[in-house]
Each structure stands twice: as structure tokens, then as C-alpha cells.
Amino acid sequence: MSTIKNDLFLKALKGETVERPPVWMMRQAGRYLPEFMEIKAKYDFFTRCQTPELASEITVQPIRRYGMDAAILFSDILVIPQAMNIHVEMKPGIGPWLPNPIRSQKDLDRVIVPDIQDTLGYVMDAIKMTKEKLNDDIPLIGFAGSPWTILCYCVQGQGSKNFDKAKEFCFTQPVAAHELLQKITDTTIAYLKEKVKAGVNAVQVFDSWGGMLSPVDYQEFSWKYMQQIIDALKDDAPVIAFGKGCWFALDTMAKSGASALGVDWTCTPETARKLSGGKITLQGNFDPTRLFSPPSEIKRMVTEMIDAFGKDRYIVNLGHGILPNIPIENAGAFIEAVKEYRVRS
């Protein structure tokens, strides 16, 4: 691997001392950018994911505009179930739509653990193309959804406020649920390993719906599968584990071998440091809706957030993905605040 010119992000993942923390934003390659909306007007969602030229262009758009310290490949967590023989559509106004949800052992029998190059080779092509465009200026992050989060969509069939059908499936048909979770886990491990081979410098596992589970159920239906992924990947690349609403598991996560843990905005920096034992890199945790605040206020709050986490073992980010209607200058203020950060003596 050639050396990355701006390696702040990789240094923070290793826990090394930095002059300022690195910054990127979840969903930074996306719909708050006018240049993204131009592409969106011409191509449907999965065409954008499956066309390497488009995916790589969308990945570098925010970097050109704001100069973040890391890029994250434009893709979607639901390319995994697609590859596993589960039909997934993106419906305008609804979001993910799975017309044949997995509700029984019979449904589960048609779910495969695919050949990754065969089904998701387009993602690897997008990585190679993106790496050329980035020219080793900054690292590239690859990602996947957690097995539990993927199961939520596969069983529910669409987004949900509580994923009641997904939970019911786990609690009434635990054998089938664990079989599905294991198939997703095996596919995800193979997928992330191919991504690392294709050139990503780190991977993030998004457990967007982990907070739907009680702490006991979280260990059984989510964390043990995330742990398998971390175990399989940690020697190949740094792994960031992000569980939204999962502050209760930070102590377990900190012992997992992950290089960093994402934190959402419901947990203070002080609490997150305490729960995670204070030795692991943390990432987060600005409330995405706070980006509606005036730019001067955003800058003040970001500076306070860095002071609270500390500049080392810390990656500045949002506590979840950026919202589509955030003014572009407000997103800019968030990034600028980090680049202008100096430790006050």
C-alpha cells in the first residue's frame, strides 16, 4: 500500500498523538449536496450504487467541496441482502422496500451466502476507481450494516419506528433468526475482506437499529455477530463499530478488538469515555439536527465537543447520518471548526 498523504484519520484509529482530530461525516456523500442531486435526477438509487463511475464520483464530491480527512465509499447496507437472493427496492417516499420479507424457515431456505466477486464485484470496481481519484490524499472507508440491522429490513420488509416484526421473528423463531444472522455475518465478513483487498483503508460496521433491543437481547441478536466480524477483519484493517442507541454496550465493545467506537448524541463525551474505559478511540457525536444551528454556533459547539472528548483517540463526526436539507454552509462550518481547532492552553 502506498502512503496516504493526510493520515490523521489512520493515526487517530491507532491512538497516536495528533495536532488536531480528523473529521468526516456519516452520509457525507449524499443528498445534502447540490452536485449529488444532479446525479440523483438522472439515475435511480441502485444504479448509482452499481455503477462504479457514479459511485466513485459521488464518493469524492464532498471531499472536493470540504476536504474531509477521510472519504467513505458511496454504497448502501442493503446491497448485502440483494447479493443473498433477497429482492430489495428503493421506493420514493418510502425508502427500502423488500416485497418478499423473510418470515419463516421456508423463506430462509432461498437465502444464499453468495460469491462476493460474482454478486458485488461492482463495489470493488468502485473502490479501485475511487482510490485513483483520491490519489492517496486521504484514506477511504468501506462499510457494512450489522447483521442485526440487515435482519431488521429483511424481516420487517421496510423501515420502521420499532421493527416489531423483526423482533417478533427473533423471539418466536430464534433458530431461524440465528440462521439468518449467521448467513448475513458470513456474507458480510467475505464482503468486507474483499473491500480491504480492493483498497479501503478502514471499515465501519453500522448497527443503526441496535438500540431497538434490550441490553440482554442486544448481546444475543446483535453483538455476538458484530464480534465475529471484528475478529475476522481486525488483522486486515482497522474496524469502527457504531451502534446507534447502544451506549449500554460500550464497555463490551471496548474489549472487542475494534479500533474505534461510534457514539451517538444521546451520550455525553465524558460518559462515553467512562463507559469505554478511556483507552479506545471514539467517533462522534454531534447531533445531525444541530447542523441547522447558525454556523457560528456550530463552530462553538464543535470546539466544545473536541475539548470534551480530547483531541487524541478521537474522530470528529456526527452521531448519525447528515440530514438531506442541511444548508451546505452549515456542513462547511462543521468541517472548518475541526480544521481550525487548536488546543487551548
The DSSP call for residue 23 is B
27 is in an annotated binding site: yes
- What are the φ/ψ torsions at residue 146 (nearest 5 degrees)? -70, 155
* Alpha helices, DSSP H, located in the chain: 8-14, 34-42, 45-50, 52-66, 79-83, 105-109, 116-134, 147-156, 164-172, 174-198, 215-218, 224-233, 250-254, 269-275, 295-309, 328-339
110 is in an annotated binding site: no
- Give the C-alpha separation, 155 to 104, whole Å: 9
31 is in an annotated binding site: yes
Query: Chain-centre distance of CA 303, in angstroms?
Result: 24
61 is in an annotated binding site: no
Beta bridge mates, 260: 240, 281
Pairing of strands 239-243, 260-263: parallel
153 is in an annotated binding site: yes
29 is in an annotated binding site: yes
- Give the C-alpha separation, 185 to 227, whole Å: 10
Q: Are 281 and 256 in contact (CB under 8 A)?
A: no
Nearest to 83 by CA among 29, 22, 21, 145: 145
320 is in an annotated binding site: yes
28 is in an annotated binding site: yes
The DSSP call for residue 254 is H
76 is in an annotated binding site: yes
Helix axes 147-156, 224-233, angle to 10 degrees: 130
46 is in an annotated binding site: yes
C-alpha cell at 277: 474505559
Known binding residues are 27-31, 46, 76, 153, 208, 320
Residue list for the binding site for substrate: 27-31, 46, 76, 153, 208, 320
